[in-house]
Amino acid sequence: MNEAIARHKKLLEQYPNNELARFSLGKALFDNGQIQEAKEQFDLAITKKPDWMVVQILIGKCQLALGNAAAARTSFERARQLAIEQNHEGPLAEMDQLLSEL
């Protein structure tokens, strides 16, 4: 098992209700190409914090990697709305780009 994944799994076991620990595990899984497992962690994280824009973007990227373009579009549209609400210009531009490519 990847060292980062193992470290984040252990943290999540210690702090099962910590969404940042869950996000970190999801990101480590995503970076390691374990897309379905990453998406499961991101899905759980977003239920605790529905306005978490970065997680919403990563859910969309997971869906895209898993071949579900329609779900990816929905996630990217939600992330775009969050970027507008939270005044994040970089992510807004990224979402506009990704949506134009879908």
Domains and CATH numbers, the chain: 3-101 (1.25.40.10)
Q: Looking at residue 52, what is its pLDDT?
A: 97
pTM of structure: 0.94
Cα 25 to chain centroid, rounded: 11
Q: What is the rounded average pLDDT of the residues 34-41?
A: 98
pLDDT tier at 39, thresholds 50, 70, 90: very high
Cα 27 to chain centroid, rounded: 7
Q: Looking at residue 82, what is its pLDDT?
A: 97
Q: Looking at residue 70, what is its pLDDT?
A: 97
How does pLDDT run across 40-76, given as a tens digit for each residue? 999 999 999 999 999 999 999 999 999 999 999 999 9
Token pair listed for 33: 């190409």
Q: Looking at residue 50, what is its pLDDT?
A: 95
How does pLDDT run across 69-93, given as a tens digit for each residue? 999 999 999 999 999 999 999 999 9
DSSP string, 21-88: HHHHHHHHHHHTT-HHHHHHHHHHHHHH-TT-HHHHHHHHHHHHHTT-HHHHHHHHHHHHHHHHHTT-
